Chain A
């Protein structure tokens, strides 16, 4: 079955791709994204910058660019990330294994909803927020969870932010995926405003889409391309987006 939504806006960040014009050029000749890098954190309140991991800076940069005030403090949010703050968790576990004391502030920032929590604090947003992970199928399930929030409250737009940074070297050999730092944010709504896009999911019909860039960047490439539909096959699910 096909589930509609309206796109009110989007934004993305990766090393060297810092604004909409850069992403439009990238979409015409896509290539692997940059491995490491972070946006300037000056857009964040000074008290929060110190605690911002690379992933937090990147996801919040995309979130802020996709959604301005007054909506920024009023939208529901969905933060989707396969790895989330796992690199910071690994660092803390190594501390414990070495018998070193553990920083309480660092610990409270290892939750999977660290990015959502810091966005809420920075933007003064007191609305519902989900943080999720779905292995290789994280993008499509992030979109679905955003639709689930639109179902709960159709009158309130949902800001979906999808992003990851390279997994720490301890475990990186265990995961096959494009190694890069990125976030893509979509401002989605029900109602009449914005461009319409329909979403569907189902069991895979073929092999997993083997892309050189993250699924979230592929979705943005498709959106900018004007092509009528996109199919991405993950590990367990097939996701389809259709324009109109």
Chain B
């Protein structure tokens, strides 16, 4: 595969229902704090949904960028604000033409467009506060570039629930190609009526909290988040070591039951990182809590790793943040590596009702407070699988 050059995940800005910033996020993640979900009645008609909504007030999009004023971009701004100093340093060092932007999203500003579309239906006129830049997918990256006055490559990747992982994979390639010296990369997705109604229509939303890998699993819990990294060619720190991608060639909204696409993505990520399965210390599962995903993912994981590797789905804590999930869960892996204690990793717990599905391979789900002992460099993996059969697995590591 590609030759290995350093790809540092040098700084992280993150906001989800777990809170704002790496430290608050880690505190609640490590404690497996399941209290952060909240009930919303306004997302899907006639239905109360438990969701992972960001609780804090978001920063306002600056008035000069009014064309981009929407919740999705306000979430991005909340994450950007946390790493503004290292970002400004990188821009000063390399110049605005050498800093790129690759953002994953599956929603962009759909939530704000819903109000504009309802306004149009009522009045046959455009809402005065609505601009297409809020809705179009490319606007998610465009906003970040405008906010930071960047002049490098700038695009949005939108491959449903693998968007966030894919954005980090492409950022790594832009650095390797030499077209950028730094990239702002990650993903943002916001709760909106379209996705809530859509997943409800697919009967894919759980009534209570999602229950991944349980015999009683009954669907997803929706969430929203932004996780943005400063990605550089520096050595050291937490590195993005490998990316593995595949397509399912199977069905638009259901994975191959044998998990071939998932296995291919994980295998390709290991090959890209140049490591063996036994070198992975922790796997953050896609673990959506739908019957089909969890069945095929556990088969694929067991086929490649056996059943010893500690793994967990963190979606019961934050919800399925869709287009942001790949970047948010990479952020969780980044935190696991950053917060290592001597030769041990503190693992995010797999939260479910504890009723294993006997039809599935007996994977090792990380228990509350569980730690993984390291016998070499720390390597962790995260899976993201999306509608359209689009899969992306990342390997992160630290010395």
Task: Identify the A interface with B (CB < 8 A).
Answer: 1, 3, 51, 73, 77, 82-84, 86, 89-90, 92-94, 96-99, 101-105, 107-114, 116-118, 120-121, 123-135, 137-138, 141, 144-145, 147-149, 151-154, 167, 170-171, 173-175, 201-203, 236-237
Contacts and interface: CB of A to CB of B under 8 A. Distances in A.
B253 interface: yes
Contact of A86 (B136, B141, B203): B136
A167 B126 CA distance: 14
Given A107-B198, A113-B159, A131-B158, A97 B247 contact: no
Interface string B253-277: 1000000110010000000100000
13 contacts: A3-B177, A98-B121, A111-B106, A113-B159, A113-B386, A113-B390, A117-B389, A117-B390, A141-B153, A144-B155, A152-B2, A154-B2, A237-B154
B176 interface: yes
Contacts of A131: 157-159, 388, 390
Given A111-B387, A151-B177, A130 B97 contact: no
Contact of B159 (A1, A103, A116, A154): A116
A129 B159 contact: yes
Nearest to B95: A203
Contacts of A86: 135-136
A154 B138 CA distance: 27
Given A86-B136, A137-B154, A236-B142, 20 more contacts: A89-B110, A103-B201, A105-B253, A108-B252, A111-B159, A113-B159, A116-B159, A116-B390, A121-B251, A128-B245, A130-B170, A133-B136, A133-B155, A137-B155, A141-B153, A141-B154, A144-B153, A144-B155, A152-B243, A236-B151
Given A111-B106, A134-B138, A125 B2 contact: no
B137 to A, nearest CB: 4
A171 B106 contact: no
Interface string B174-207: 1011110000000000000110011101110000
B179 A1 contact: yes
Contacts of B158: 84, 111-113, 131-133
B250 interface: yes
Contacts of B113: 90, 93
B132 interface: yes
Interface of B: 1-2, 45, 96-97, 106, 110, 113-114, 117-118, 120-121, 126, 130-133, 135-139, 141-142, 145, 151, 153-160, 166, 169-170, 173-174, 176-179, 193-194, 197-199, 201-203, 243, 245-253, 260-261, 264, 272, 386-390
A153 B155 contact: no
A107 B138 contact: no
A interface SS class: mixed
B264 A126 contact: yes
Nearest to B159: A113
Contact of A93 (B141, B193, B245): B193
B156 A117 contact: no
B45 A96 contact: yes
Contacts of A103: 201
Nearest to A98: B121
Contacts, number: 223
A207 to B, nearest CB: 16
Given A112-B106, A116-B390, A130-B166, A97 B136 contact: no
A104 B197 CA distance: 9
A89 B111 CA distance: 11
Please indicate which of the listed interface residues B193, B197, B250 has the most CB atoms of chain A within 10 Å of its own CB.
Answer: B197
A126 B247 contact: yes
Contacts of A174: 126, 130-132
Contact of B136 (A82, A94, A107): A82
Contacts of B261: 126
Please indicate which of the listed interface residues A86, A124, A131, A147 has the most CB atoms of chain B within 10 Å of its own CB.
Answer: A131
Contact of A94 (B117, B160, B389): B117
A105 B389 CA distance: 14
Contact of A144 (B151, B159, B179, B390): B179
Given A129-B247, A152-B1, A134 B135 contact: no
A37 B246 CA distance: 32
B164 to A, nearest CB: 13
Contacts of A138: 138, 155
Contacts of B97: 202-203
A203 B135 contact: no
B2 A153 contact: yes
Contact of A99 (B45, B173, B252): B45
Contacts of B153: 141, 144, 201, 237
Nearest to B139: A135
Nearest to B196: A96
A3 B179 contact: yes
A133 B197 CA distance: 24
